[in-house]
Structure 1
Amino acid sequence: MTSFFKKNKNTGTAKDNTVKNGLVYIYKDENGNLPDISRLEIKKKSKMKNYFLSGIILTGLIGAGIFFGYRILTGGNGYRGKSLDIEITAPNKISSGDSVNYKIKYRNNENYSLNNVELFVRFPDNFKFVSSEPSPANDFKTLWKLENLNKNAQAEMIITGIVIGQVGTELTFDLTMAFEPENFSSTFKETASFTQTIESTIIDLEITGPETVLPEKKVVYTVKYKNNSDKELGRTQVEAIYPETFVFQKSEPANYVPKENEGARKLNNLWRFEKLEPNFEGEIKIDGGYVSDDNEEEELTIKIGFLDEENNLSVQQEKKITTRILKTGLEAGLLVNGTDIGSPVNMGDTLNFMVNLKNAGSNDLNGVVLEFKIDPELVDWQAVSGTVGEIDKKSGVIRWTETEIAELSQFKPGTEKQLEFALKLKEYDEVDIKGRYEIKSQVKAKIQNINDIEADTEIFSNETANIINSQLSLKAEGRYFDDDNQAVGTGPLPPVVGEKTTFRIYWAIANSLNEVKNVEVTATLPEGVEFTEKFIVNAGKLMYNDNSKTMTWTVSKISSNMGYDDVNLWFDVEIAPTVSNKGRIMVLLTETELVAYDTRTGDEILQSQPAVTTNLDADPVARGKGIIVGFE
């Protein structure tokens, strides 16, 4: 056995001097003096430091042993740091929705076998595993246990999956291969990564609609989609993102309505398809309109993509369309008796109307026609005054065109116009107002064109509503005979000087439209007329004041549609004419006055009836027998 070290027999040679000189160089101090080794001073070291140094030395010896052992076992061809080459190949261009084959080649660069080879792949989120050859070794389909790889041998495998994502999305695959070198128990790893970009999608999307629309006019958007591939596509969804001012009406086909447990808002903006056949083309029509606001342009967004198991959408295409809202800018206002609130009125009143028209926009309004409408049965059409155009008495419409108002031909931006006219209402007894609680009126402006663009749109003014006060009818009459010609009075008729004659006074109230409250009827008995304290009241309360000789009838409230037979009373009065009354007609009751309040309008209602005399104008039998007579 050959020794690694040999002893030299010669001494005192130049070689010895060289060694000696080298030792002097090593051990001399900075002043060139050698240490006195005849006296050796020993210092104790700490045990902890000894243990630490021993550990380092032991670790180094073990590592060296492994290294030299590995070289001996492998014939001197040890692990060189790149035992495996990994190569991934795939199509140069991919489209979202494609089924893609990824070929993974791996080659053993060593002169010994690599055993227990495993592959672990971290897939991108946009990749859906379909199959592989060989099959994966775990449920997550991310691990493969491969055959041992002989020295300088190579192998390959194929993973197939579907890529889903927007155009421009990058997909990165991270691969890790683990292996054990032959006759070696440690595991080594090699890594590789592969990135590619989605350059297109297999679904086409197109949206069309009008460039310009008017507020509150029907708008139709058409969404077209197509499966460009020769493969069936799975669950697909079209989603619309509407502008805030867009109002959905309907769609064809009908939109998908999310179920309660899906947690999605019901916005009428989803269309779902379980599958799309190869090369299938579909179309969705969305009907709606825009409400007027301050935006001149509105943007509708349409998305299409694939749904996963949790109904999350992977968007494939997104398209937008901008629509300009062409506003009329026309403002119309209506005043009645100087206000737009609508004050209470009585039948028989005259209503003064003012129409205010203004083009507050930036567009020319061509062919404007104004129409005013009111209930035709309430108006006395023989008493119309002011600026009026064509009147349709049957429909209650007054119409103005450019014939009456030249500016309506082309109503330019900034133009203002006022129209004033008056209408007289019929009297209460001229029309059946039952159920007619208010008089509504409004102005409508029809616009044929806006900036020479066909509009055919309508603008409405505020609607005024003038509540009609309830009609309270008061009856106050004196009788000697009732309606059946039965005497309800006593004593001589005509009345005679010095003799007593009694008469019956009837009060009655009728109410038409609205409930009234705090009703009070008053009248006074003149001198020479006395209250007999005989009376009957079927509604309310009757009181008599001796000092003022005032009769007062109060009713807390009277409902609508109450007649004379529902609210009435009677009381008797007595006279004993004196000589001074001879040849005259005596007043039995002064003017009767009524005050009440309409609960709907809040207005005060006043009514009155003339005085009642002995002439008894309301008594067909006793009428005309009221002059006092006397016999000497």
Structure 2
Amino acid sequence: MANPSFSSNHSSSDAPANASLAEDHDFVEKEIGPSELDEKKSREKAVRKETKKKNHTQLRAKQKNASDYNFSKKDAKKMETIGKQLVEIYENGDGSMPDMSAFSQRKRNGLFRVSLTFLSVVALLCVVAWVGFFVFQPRASFSQEDVVLSISGEETLMIGERAQYRIRYRNNQSVSLEKAELEIRYPAGFVFEEANPAPADDMHDRWDLGELAGNESGYIDIVGRLYADVETEQSFRIFLNYTPSNFSSSFQKVATVNMTVTETPVILLVDAPKEILSGVDASFSASVRLADAYEGPITNLAIVLEPNPRFTKKETSEPSDPFDDLRWPVSVLEKEKTMTIKGFFAPDASGPSDVPLTFKVIGWNSALPSLDPFVFDEETVTVHVAQADLSGTMVVNGTAGDVTVQPGEKMHITLVVKNNGQEPVEHIRVRAVFDMPSADNKSILHWALLDDPQDGIIEGEQRSPTERRGSILWGEAEIGALTALPPGSEVSIDFSLPVKSADDADLAQFLTHEGTVSIDVQYDMNKTKQLFSLAPVQITIQSDLALRVEDSGPVAKGTSERHPVRWILTNTFHPLENIQLSAEWYGDLAWDESALSTPAGNASFDPSTKTLTWNIEQMPTSVDVLALEFVVALQTKNPTQTKLSSPVKLRAKDTVTGSEIFLLGDEIAL
């Protein structure tokens, strides 16, 4: 662009160039004074201001056009700011915008100016494109917080009360939720009755919601009953699974509600003595009744006494459960039912003590009988058990606890009665009571072979088709010391009673294998009759497995001595499994494998240890005899050797009682 020229009356052709420039400079100073210069600057400033105003007006018009694209106020403000920044970058010094539609080229550096201008235009277009597509482009976003899930309903309940719960869900945003599915984990003991809308499966715990559009909501109503222990807390757990439409992964929302079983329709009341002597009978009364606000009846109940090692139940007014001696069924409770329990407390070596007994009333939901029972109510009573003046002990086969015997085995029993008080005890009567398995109204005990030096009085009673009671009573007539027992004195009674063997009875006819023996003692103290009992001893009758070892030798053969041997197993009462017999052999021995005859299982001889082992997986009662036959040869005789084998070790498991059987068979002597 040419420099501005001014008219002059002076010629500059004859003057030097520097002189000409000086003259031109002087001319400007003369022609344009200071006041005129200020006026010129003011005009230029006004032009720039007007130009900026015009540019801003055009910018606002563009912003207005942008509003047609539904830009928010925040986006419009951001666009205005960027526009101002672009104007400040590209405006001329006088405030005007360059005309980019036409360019004048200078002869020098023309290519550079064109390239710079082109790059500037491209950069401007990129900035505008970025602003349009990434800053002002409207786009919906997903938020997990905008997925709402809740459940409401009764938080305190009575056992079995009908309750309704409402599950609410809402997609509180514009993004839709696909593959929406709602799942419920019900509390333990909850019985589903109905739901609206209906669930999608037979378990009543899943609903297919499909697609939840933006701001769509819904709810599900569930009705059911909760059967759970009183004063326990349960909870519903709700899961909403979904996939946002602008995501490929799934999400889950969880909600819970807790409820507490605070009321029961059945109330339990227990009446118990505050104090009782050890060994003396105590009576307890347990009553169950319906709550005042409940209209019955209620079915499938039972009264339960928690086991306590100090307490022994003797008899009750109601029959107990066939499979639980401390549970009494109540099939229907119309209003109230009462039962009594009689028993006694065993003495404690430490002296008087407090013994707790816990009673419960439990129930089952008839719709879900396979579930564990729930507790309607419970009560614990504490009884102070004082030491009795008279005490006793019972030992069976050397032990004071439960015992295991075999058919044909003799039980040796010792009873000891001691006066622990300060006064004499008079007119003592001791009775031993055996409640044992029975078949054809006959006991499994061989009463005909009772060995009782005191010659007590025997009585029998058939209590059920599978149980017979037999008792022995000793009084003053049988044992003189029972007339009066001084303080600190004791009396001992010894006797024995065998269990019948397979030779005495058909053991397969006995359907049970357990019994008890208990002791009752009646006496006078200060002219008052009193009674105490000893805790019963459990008697378990296991299989009549027996082992017999036979040696038919020696049989001379050349320089060796042969011994044909038989291990004979017999069993008739209970099936057996995991049977193993083994024995060690001594001396210069030779094993004859060809002479081995195995009726069942497998037998093997280990020459390194000289051990013979016979393993049998099972021996049913239909197989009453198994005999292993084999031959061992003593190559050379040692004058000092007295035994050919060790005792035979026998181990087996009784499949009925579950007990392990250990027996020792005879050794083979030389």
TM range (shorter): 0.3 to 0.5
TM-score (norm 2): 0.38
TM-score (norm 1): 0.40
Structure with a larger share of its residues in helix: 2
